[in-house]
């Protein structure tokens, strides 16, 4: 489910659909932060993916440079 949410978030960002991208990113954060160490070896890669998506979202929402 976490990988699916990451894929949805990335696709929505590519399509310019910020609302749905944010929802998918928030859902992924809920899973990663809620499950934490229960994710085992998948925890670090999922945290990295989440951070990358959050950064991509922030960049997409930033006002254009003058």
Residue-number span of the structural domain to which 52 is assigned:
2-61
pTM score of the predicted model: 0.91
Helix (H, G, I), strand (E, B) or coil at 16: coil
> Could you tell me what percent of the chain has a pLDDT over 70?
100
State pLDDT tens for residues 3-24: 999 999 999 999 999 999 999 9
pLDDT for 66: 79
Q: What's the domain count of the chain?
A: 1
DSSP state of 65: P
In a domain, 17, yes or no: yes
CB 2 within 8 A of CB 46: yes
In a domain, 66, yes or no: no
Mean pLDDT computed over every residue of the chain: 95
- In whole angstroms, give the CA distance from residue 59 to residue 38: 31
CB 31 within 8 A of CB 49: no
């Amino acid at each position: 489910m976490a990988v699916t949410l990451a894929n949805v978030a990335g696709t929505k960002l590519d399509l310019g659909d910020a609302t749905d991208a944010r929802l998918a990113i928030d859902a992924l954060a809920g899973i990663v932060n809620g499950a934490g160490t229960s994710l085992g070896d998948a925890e670090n890669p999922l945290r990295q993916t989440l951070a990358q998506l959050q950064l991509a979202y922030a960049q997409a929402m930033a006002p254009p440079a003058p």
